[in-house]
Structure formats: C-alpha cells, structure tokens
Chains A and B, each alone.
Chain A
Amino acid sequence: MPKSIPADSVGLVTPLTEHFDEPLELVCGRTLPRFDLVYETYGKLNAKRDNALLFCHALSGDHHAAGYHSMEDRKPGWWDNHIGPGKAFDTHRFFVVCPNNLGGCKGSTGPNTTNPETGRIYGPDFPLFTVKDWVNSQKQLMDSIGINQWAAVVGGSLGGMQVIQWAIDYPDKLRHALVIAAAPRLSAQNIGFNEVARQAILSDPEFHGGHYYEHNVVPHRGLMLARMLGHITYLSDDAMRAQFGRDLQTGRLSYDFDVQFQVESYLRYQGSSFVDRFDANTYLLMTKALDYFDPGADFENGLAEALSQTEAKFLVIAFTSDWRFSPARSKEIVKALTDAQRQVSYAEVESSEGHDAFLLPNSYYTDILNAYMARV
C-alpha cells in the first residue's frame, strides 16, 4: 500500500471503457459483433493530438500500466518504473493509452464476459485472437479517442510483437516503434512450453471444456501449473540461484513430496496467486496468439519484406539473460530492419533477471529509454 503517492507517479487512476458496435473481423474467419475495450490513460492529449503513446501489454498484463487504483493497492501498474511525470515515458509530455487486449480477463470483452448473442458467458466459444486482431482493435480505439498518429507504440514480450504488427499494418500511424524483449516469431522450444502450459489447463478435471464458470469452479491446478512453468522460463538460472539456491523451508529434508525447497514454495505461491487474478481461457488464448505470431510468413522474402513497408523509427532492446526471447531473437528483428533499410537502434542490456528484466529497474535500460524518448 502506498502511504502517499510518490511525486513521480501518475497517481490514482480509473480505468475507462469504450464500447464498439462495429463488428471486428478476425483472422480466424470469425467476427466479434461488438465489444468493449477497457483502457487507462495518463497525461494529456495536446491540441495537435500528436503526443500519444500506445502501450501494448504482454501475456499476463493488462491496462493498468502505471499509478494506483486505490490507496489500498499493494503495487502500482506493471510499468510504473518508466511511466510517470519526469520518467522516460514522461506524462508531462505524453498522453499514454494502455488498453486491456480483447480476450483478456480484466474488463475488455473476453472469454469471461457475456456473449450478447447467447446471453451466456463466452467461455471456450470466444474466438481465438491473433496479434493482428489486437492491433486492429487498438486502431479502433485510436480512432474513437481521436488520435491521428501515435508518437510511439511501445511493448515488451507479446506487447513487442504487437508493436511490430502495428508498424507493418499501419505504417503511417506511428512515428516510433519500441520493441522490447520480443521475438519475430516463437521457436519450437517456445511453442513447446506454451503447449505444456495449455495441456496443464486442458487436462484439469475442473476445466469442463472451458465452461467452468457454469460449474462455479476454476481449473485451479491447471492454471497454477501453467503459471509455475511459465514463471521458470521468465527467470534465469542465475536469478533463481541467487534468490533461492537450494535453501530449504524448514532447514532439513523431510523425505516426502511436501514443499521443502524455497523455490518450490515460491513457484506454488506465484502459481496460486495467479489463479486469483487470471482466467484460464484467457491464458489459453494468449499463448495461442504468441504461437501464431509470424508476420514474415505472409511475405515471400520473410520478415525483411514485411518490415520494408514500415515507416516508423525502431528501438529494439534485449536482455542478456533472457532465454525465453533471447538477444539473438531481437537481433533477427534488427537484421530484418537493416536489410529493409529501415531506421533502427538496438541495445542489449546486461541483466541477470531473465525475460522478466524488461519489467524491472536497471540503470542502463532507463538511460536508453530516457535518451530515446527525449527525441520522440
């Protein structure tokens, strides 16, 4: 709980909801007849309406990127490190927009909301979303707010993929693209991890084919396992060694399957608390969107050709200990951009914290963002 709101915080914020009656045609062939997008904004849109930043969230993120919802909040929004007055994404200068993606579970239309055509909760009937669909829905939000061009579109991980898609699909709608800890498409290993996570959920007896809402249960075990597995891939070997080592909970081995090592306790806690704040159908949908992302696949010559039509200036950032989306994956993006003769800068941040590093404080990372954003 913040005793008082820090001076460099955007302060107390309230999510907004925008309703859309225009049907949204999806890559999967289905149509979402109408939908709500929940989003937050920080700062003020200027008279020329050209100071807006769009933030795209990652797999388990949401619209709450900065500030606090109430004085009782334990933690601020997920990117409070960098968004706020005087910070890299300076809310004195910029108007920040961060929506909850469709298919999410934090208020935007998704599996846990009511299907207007049936009056029942969507559940597993909610269509599978792709990164391209999210970008199209964000474009509708952009139009309804009345923004002609984003000063920058920014995102980490799955959010970074949305940034790439924005630059490809709406080249003249953004001036800068900040792609952080992302990849141009998933590797077989990445898809493998996602598949194990999905199987954990799908095989939970309380999943009920995705209709668990009607049974007043949640696939607690499955979603918890999915998150425990995911969490390991977001950390690095070094970070886990430093944080837990082989430390024991009780100081001695008990020769049974109870929690003994601290890392077990930590992962169980992380998994369990995730179940309280996240929806299993959303998790399935988000991992599928990750698996399907491959913007180069639509072009004969791959990613470089896909990016050759972009107009934005790119900043790509990777973290040395990130093995989920390693620096080599970011370099693929950079290579495609240089091959396509686009404007790009690339920085590799030394960090021991794995994929999660993109959310954590780091002085070089902050310097990079500050330096770059000063010219946006």
Chain B
Amino acid sequence: MSLLRSDLAIIKKWITPGSRVLDLGCGNGALLRVLRDERHVEGYGLEINQKNIVSCLQSGINVIQLDLDKGLDDFDDQAFDYVIMTQTLQAVHFPDHLLQEVLRVGKQGIVTFPNFAYWKNRLQIGLQGKMPVSRALPAQWYESNNIHLCTIKDFQQLCRQRHVKIKEKVILDHAHRASAPITFLPNLLGQIAIYRCQQEESLLN
C-alpha cells in the first residue's frame, strides 16, 4: 500500500524521538526510514509482500515477514511506544481484532485509512453506480486488497464500542490538506483519516 506523503508528515510529528515503533504492513519501509533518520526510532516493520520485504532489507529497515491476519501473538503487551498501521486496516480479515491487537502491543496506536464516505466516492457509487476509484483507492474492485473499507463514522463507532480513546485525529481533504471546512463535515469532505488512539486504561492489565 503506498504511503501518501501528507499522512507520513503528520505521523512523523506525532512520534516522540527515540521511541520504539512497530509498523504493521510497512510496505517498502518508507515511513520507518523517515522515522529512523529523522526521529531516531527503533523498531520493526511487519510485511507479507516479498517485493516489499526485499525493499526494506535494501534500505536497512528491520522487517519481519508476517501475516497480519494471524494476529500479533509474537509480541508482548505494551512492547512498543507506537504501533502504526497506515492504509492497512481495511485490507485485513479482522480489522476489529487487529485494532485491539495494535493497542495491546502498543502504548499508542496510529491508524490511517481511506474514508469510504468521501463525497467523490459517494458520487461514484450513488450516481454512477460504480465502485470508487480515486487517489486514495487506486485499484479496481477486482484488484483491490481492500476487503473491509470503512468510513470515519464507522471507525469512530468501533472505537466507542471497543473502549478505544481517540487522542488526536487529522482528516485530510482531496488535496491532502487539513482544511477548515473538513472540521464541520469530516465524513463527507475527508479522503484520508489519521488517528492516534489508546486503549482505555481499565481494559489494560
């Protein structure tokens, strides 16, 4: 999954220098490379795609081949300062379970996903009657890895149900800016959602 430059810049700002990071579905390691070089983080990327794994190794990124659908059993509770999941939530079999795993293994979770309720997506579905194809959702329906697309409302509802506390969020528009109108109509105008969240403490042992 390609990482958009704008969400990368926002995530970078959220990360405390020198922290320990786990990047789920780390792709070619672009985010970890930036965090390593500019935030001096230590950690690992988890990835299943062979080409991406080879790219990570080429960049000197620690990458562990793992199927996220099998969970994060190999990692202890609260082992990382941040567990990051960029544009991956919608591509796994059990996003709700994975979100809980993210917040079990990480003291904080950073999650980004394409907002399916973005107005252009609504137009393509509502007027054209076709699955949306856009910058945030570049693949045709038959080629897409996205099997659990969701909206900003859906995600926030899941967070409430699972006692996940949203610490910070940024919603980006079509130009990948956080513009003023988005504050009022995030689920309509937002194309990409970026959340920093935490499991409510009562649920942590």
Q: Interface residues, chain A, CB within 8 Å of chain B?
A: 313, 315, 331, 334-335, 338-339, 341, 343-348, 364, 367-368, 371-372, 374-375
Between-chain CB contacts (< 8 Å), 29 pairs: A331-B74, A334-B64, A334-B74, A338-B64, A338-B75, A338-B79, A341-B20, A343-B42, A344-B44, A344-B62, A345-B57, A345-B61, A345-B62, A345-B63, A345-B64, A346-B63, A346-B64, A346-B65, A346-B66, A347-B63, A347-B65, A348-B65, A364-B50, A364-B54, A371-B54, A371-B58, A372-B57, A375-B57, A375-B58
Interface string of B117-152 (1 = CB under 8 A from A): 000000000000000000000000000000000000
Please, which residues of chain A bring their CB within 8 A of the CB of B55? Answer: 371
Question: Which B residues lie within 8 Å of A345 (CB)?
Answer: 44, 56-57, 61-64
Instruction: Write the chain B residue with the least CB distance to A335.
Output: B74
Q: Which of B175-201 contact A (CB under 8 A)?
A: none
Query: Do A374 and B58 form a contact, CB below 8 Å, given A335-B74, A338-B75, A341-B20?
Result: yes
With A338-B44, A341-B42: A367-B54 Cβ-Cβ less than 8 Å: yes
State in angstroms the CA–CA spacing of A44 and B143 once bound together: 49
Enumerate the 4 nearest inter-chain pairs by beta-carbon distance, A residue then B residue, closest first. Answer: A371-B57, A371-B58, A346-B64, A371-B54
A367 to B75, CA, bound (A): 27
Distance (whole angstroms) from the CB of B100 to the closest CB of chain A: 20
Residue from the list A315, A339, A364 in contact with B76, Cβ < 8 A? A339
Nearest opposing residue in chain A for B58, CB measure: A371
Q: Interface digits, B36-55 against A, CB 8 Å rule (1 contact, 0 not)?
A: 00000010100000100111
Contacts of B74 in A (CB 8 A): 331, 334-335, 338
A-B Cβ contacts below 8 A, count: 52
Q: Which bracket fits the contact residues of B?
A: 20 to 34
Whether B60 lies near A375 (C-beta < 8 A) is: yes
Nearest chain A residue, comparing its CB with the CB of B66:
A346
State in angstroms the CA–CA spacing of A269 and B44 once bound together. Answer: 46
- In the complex, residue of chain B having the shortest beta-carbon distance to the beta carbon of A304: B76
Minimal Cβ-Cβ distance residue in B for A332: B74
In the bound complex, what is the Cα–Cα distance between A82 and B33 (angstroms)? 28
Give A316's nearest chain B residue, CB to CB: B64
Distance A79 CA – B57 CA, assembled complex (angstroms): 21
Chain B residues lying within 8 Å of A374, measured Cβ to Cβ, are 58
Closest to A318 in B: B65
Inter-chain contacts of A343 with B (CB < 8 A): 42, 62
* Alpha-carbon distance A309/B186, docked complex (angstroms): 49
> Could you tell me the distance in whole angstroms from the C-beta of A44 to the nearest C-beta in chain B?
25
Instruction: Write the nearest CB–CB distance from B65 to chain A, whole angstroms.
Output: 5
Besides A335-B74, A343-B62, A345-B56, 8 more A-B contacts (Cβ < 8 Å) are A331-B74, A338-B64, A338-B74, A338-B75, A344-B64, A346-B66, A371-B54, A374-B58
Q: Given contacts A334-B74, A338-B75, A341-B42, is CB(A347)–CB(B53) below 8 Å?
A: yes
Chain B residues with CB below 8 A from A334, complex form = 64, 74
Q: State in angstroms the CA–CA spacing of A313 and B57 once bound together.
A: 12
Q: Contacts A335-B74, A341-B20 known; A368 to B53 CB distance under 8 Å?
A: yes
Nearest chain B CB to A104 CB, angstrom units: 32
Q: Most chain-B Cβ atoms within 10 A of its Cβ — which of A315, A338, A364?
A: A338
Name the residue of chain A whose CB is nearest to the CB of B46.
Answer: A346
Give the residues in chain A near B79, CB-CB below 8 Å: 338-339
Residues of the B chain whose Cβ atoms lie less than 8 Å from the Cβ of A375: 57-58, 60
A129 to chain B, nearest CB (A): 33
The 8 A CB mask of B70-85 against A (1 = contact, 0 = none) is: 0000111001000000
CB of B48 to closest CB in A, whole Å: 9
List residues of chain B with CB within 8 A of the CB of A371: 54-55, 57-58
